[in-house]
Amino acid sequence: MNAGVANLVISLGAMQLARKIPFDDPVVLNYVRIGYVAVQVIVLAVFYYVSLTIKKKNDQTVLKYVEPASPMSQEEPKLVTTTVRDYDLSETSKLLRSTYMGIAMMAVMHIYFHFTQPLFIQGLMGLKNIYDAKPVAIHILGRPATGDLKRPFKAPSMFGAPSGPQTDAAAIAEAEKRVGKKDE
């Protein structure tokens, strides 16, 4: 099942389950708060452990790909040359930023607007996001970096094929020619 569809199904199921939870009871609400905080601490700890594992492996294999330009901009696609270590660390950093943004949004929603059901739903989604994270699959679960886990990672799409950086030799050669022309 596609990750986007799975997220939608889990969210809808969690919303139905959250309707049955008595959030008016302060004891239940405190347990949900504790559960949410515990899940977020686990998520942050897992991503920290993944970054330590990446640094420990120190894979200096060169990785070249062409990063597509933004759809609304006039700029050309750019060539990116990095190492597997640096690429995995940047992907883990993106996951951490996403987690921090989710925590900040949930704090505003719960503290300022007094929403309680999203605490329960985001607690479940945090665990699913750990499982779906590609650096976690490679460095903790030990899956080989082939297929969907091949670097650079493709962005999943709800409809159609996944999109992402181009790794074919023709696209890399074309980008290298553009970079060479700009340097002259």
The pTM of this model reads 0.88
Residues 6+ apart with CB under 8 A from 106: 36, 118, 119, 122
**In this predicted structure, what is the pLDDT of residue 173?**
82
Q: What is the pLDDT of residues 45-76, one digit of tens each?
A: 999 999 999 999 999 999 999 888 777 777 88
Q: Cβ neighbours of residue 117 under 8 Å, at least 6 residues apart?
A: 15, 18, 19, 21, 23
Residues of the chain with pLDDT under 50: 184
Would you say 30 and 137 are in contact if contact means Cβ atoms under 8 Å apart? no
d(CA 87, CA 46): 18
CB atoms within 10 A of CB 120: 20
